[in-house]
A and B are shown apart, each in its own frame.
Chain A
Amino acid sequence: MLDRVKEKMDDRKKVQMDHPTGRVETSAGTKIQSRKVNMWYDQTQALFDVSLDIPDRTVTALIGPSGCGKSTFLRALNRMNDTIPGTRLTGQIVLDGVDIYKGDLDPVQLRAQVGMVFQKPNPFPKSIYDNIAYGPRIHGLATSKSVLDGIVETSLQKAGLWDEVKDRLTEPGTGLSGGQQQRLVIARAIAVSPEVILMDEPASALDPIATGRIEELIHELRENYCIVIVTHSMQQAARVSQRTAFFHLGKLIEVGDTADIFTNPKEQKTQDYISGRFG
């Protein structure tokens, strides 16, 4: 059954690559480009004309007060919002020159290319090994047990968890501490070789030490991946990101280098938010 899924996905990929209408030219170094993205939950509009370029091998932080649309925008990048009934999106989101909302693209394949880490760590109630191996298995990435073992080990090493769990790979992933669980799900996302990793407040449920480890990890992952992180903590945005986008009431107010946004914002609203006057 898994083989058939893989074949089907390969077919879709071919269609998508050959299909001329889905291709969009983007500027060099841009991994994801959004243009005039509007989004609705039933009648409520959550995003207004968001146009944002996200560069590759960079950490882009999305900041803003609660309900500003930053999480909605993040979930639009891997079509996770599709699973919520009543959502609607107009505009264009382009990943590597391909419009991800054009009909041919398979969201299942997209979500393998664009991994996601959630606010609350959500390991599967399976062993640590199976948590990591699940993705490669369903996509048929490993040709043999030894290759799969290699994927599991490398993913855990990249996530900085290998030394802590290498002797207990068969124990349930849910038995780890909160910080370890969050690194486990990061390793799980890495295991299917994504190009982009989306993080939705990945450290908000963790203590300062675990948070520090996650931030270090994000720093290392930047060398290989395009990372987009939603955070409520402006200090965290300042520490981990190179680019920062400020959202307010569903609109993208300002985007720029993190250093500029925090020291010399152009917009009054950004200034007010980062100086703690609202939000």
Chain B
Amino acid sequence: MSSRETLFGIPAPDWADPAMQRRMRRRHGGTHRLRWLGIAAITGAIGLLLLLLVSIFSIGYSAFTQTVVTIDAPVAAEFIDADDITESNWNRMARAAIATLFPDDAAGVRDPDYREVLSRGGYNVIRNTLRDRVIANPELVGETLRITVQTADPFDQLAKGLVRRDTPEDRRRVNNRQIAFYDMLVEEGRIERRLNFWLLTNTDNRFPEMAGLAGALRGSAFALMVCFLISFPMGIATAVYLEEFAPKNWATDLIEVNINNLAAVPSIVFGLLGLAVFLNFFGLPRSAPLVGGMVLALMTLPTIIIATRAALKAVPPSIREGALGIGASPVQVMTHHVLPLAMPGILTGTIIGLAQALGETAPLLLIGMNTFITDVPEDVFSKSTALPTQIYIWFDSPERGFVSRTAAAIMVLLGFLLFMNAAAIFLRARLERRW
């Protein structure tokens, strides 16, 4: 074999030679090592992601249930104003209703230990429920009403085993007298754990057991809507112009470089811009989803422009030539052929941009969307928070109950993101056409 001559005056390669076989083994070894390195890297990344998810879920899952107390509230005639039922003393009626739960050693309706078992926000719930139902139906006077309210956070923690009974009393959030009261309520069958719909239907509250994400969800939805309405048309128009119609000169080169750099600008800078320009110069309302959406649109624009340009570039030139060749005008080529074919890529880029915007916190902090707001925003001008800023507010709150609620809010945000990414994949698969 080695006797065969090559064109180059050297012997032909001898593949059976041990040195040659060693070299082959080394080359294959390299391939193996690279593959294992890749698998190790992916495993590491997935492991860290799982660790994150497990830690969030293990803390957050408990916020999806809430401990509640059922009260049989008597509508006593003594508190009712016979002349004008709306002027009745609902406050005292509510206090009396709560006191029906108390054991015999209670120091009146204002017993400092026992009144802390119910949520302080729950007191308002009882009063309002009594008022609304009795005014709507005065025949209820003399009857009792079943009303369910949240327990205060320490007792929710106790029910979930997060406050431990074996902790010494002076280092425990609840004292022994309160625990005895709680156990009595359990025995009477008044304590229940319910699915915490309030997390999605209530607005923010000082008391963790009452706090919910309704305002933040609506605020995020408004901000994303504004962001989409600004960045989608502007982004596509910019990309189409730059890609198809703009002359290639130093000015368009400069614009292109700047758009690419814009995508890498830290988001807090956009927040400063929003503060300086939208709030201080144009005088737009502080904490409003409108301004939040506008700031997020600035951040999303480069992502959409870059994705749209890539999608336009990917449309084969033969389609453009075919349409031009039968006399379509450049705008017709664009609107009838190129844009529809590029749409899956454009939509994917847009949704990824919006998903980024959804999770963005820093710029919203600077325009005041991290305020304590207890109303669901009515429109884009109302004061509001957004999901990430709500997480930030809750994370910053001292109450123990906000620990699990922060994690739960993160889970809601992740759910939102998952939904948006699924929508991107669905749209892509649905609209993609072959050529």
Contact = CB atoms under 8 A, between A and B. Distances in A.
B281 interface: no
B319 A122 contact: yes
Contacts of A139: 327
Contacts of A188: 322, 326
Nearest to A173: B435
B248 A85 contact: yes
Contacts of A278: none
B340 to A, nearest CB: 9
Nearest to A117: B325
Interface in A99-113: 108-113
Contacts of B320: 83
B337 A108 contact: no
B433 interface: yes
Contacts of B328: 108, 134-135, 138
Nearest to B318: A122
Interface residues of A, number: 30
A118 B434 contact: no
B433 A80 contact: no
B400 interface: no
A125 interface: yes
Contact of B326 (A83, A85, A135): A135
Interface string A9-45: 0000000000000000000000000000000000000
A111 B434 contact: no
B329 interface: yes
B435 A138 contact: no
B318 A80 contact: no
Given A85-B248, A120-B318, A138-B332, A125 B435 contact: yes
B341 interface: yes
B206 interface: no
B322 A112 contact: no
Contacts of B321: 80, 83, 116, 118, 122
B323 interface: yes
Contacts of A147: none
A72 interface: no
A5 B328 CA distance: 10
Contacts of B325: 78, 80, 111, 115-118, 189
Contacts of A116: 321, 325-326
Contacts of A55: none
B360 to A, nearest CB: 36
B325 to A, nearest CB: 4
A66 to B, nearest CB: 20
Contact of A189 (B324, B326, B329, B434): B326
A108 B331 CA distance: 11
A70 B318 CA distance: 19
A185 B325 CA distance: 10
B435 A112 contact: no
A192 interface: yes
Given A83-B324, A122-B322, A108 B336 contact: no
Nearest to B329: A108
Given A125-B433, A138-B332, A108 B318 contact: no
Interface in A153-198: 174, 185, 188-189, 191-192
Size class of the contact patch on chain B? 20 to 34
A191 B322 CA distance: 13
B327 A112 contact: yes
B327 to A, nearest CB: 3
Contacts of B336: 134, 138
Contacts of B319: 122, 124-125
A135 B324 CA distance: 10
Given A85-B248, A122-B321, A134-B336, A112 B326 contact: yes
A123 interface: yes
A5 B324 contact: no
Q: Which of B326, B336, B433 has the most CB of A within 10 A?
A: B326
Interface in B288-310: none
A116 B321 CA distance: 9
Contacts of B327: 108-113, 135, 138-139, 192
Nearest to B316: A122
Nearest to A188: B326
Interface in B131-163: none
Interface string B21-61: 00000000000000000000000000000000000000000
A192 B327 CA distance: 9
Interface string A66-97: 00000000000010100101000000000000
B326 A134 contact: yes
A192 B326 contact: yes
Nearest to A86: B248
Contacts of A112: 326-327
B271 to A, nearest CB: 40
Contacts of B434: 125, 174
Interface string B100-114: 000000000000000
B409 to A, nearest CB: 44
A113 B325 CA distance: 10
B324 A174 contact: no
B352 to A, nearest CB: 24
A84 to B, nearest CB: 10
Nearest to A121: B318
Contacts of A80: 321, 324-325
Nearest to A108: B329
Contacts of B435: 125, 174
Contacts of B341: 125
A124 B315 CA distance: 11
Contacts of A109: 327
Contacts of B329: 5, 108, 138
A142 B328 CA distance: 16
B314 to A, nearest CB: 13
Given A85-B248, A112-B327, A189-B325, 9 more contacts: A5-B329, A83-B321, A111-B324, A117-B325, A118-B318, A125-B434, A138-B327, A138-B328, A192-B326
By Cβ-Cβ distance, the 3 closest A-B pairs, closest first, are: A112-B327, A122-B318, A116-B325
25 contacts: A78-B325, A80-B325, A83-B320, A83-B321, A85-B247, A108-B329, A111-B326, A111-B327, A112-B327, A115-B325, A118-B318, A118-B321, A122-B322, A123-B322, A124-B323, A125-B319, A125-B341, A134-B323, A134-B326, A135-B328, A138-B327, A138-B328, A138-B332, A174-B434, A192-B326
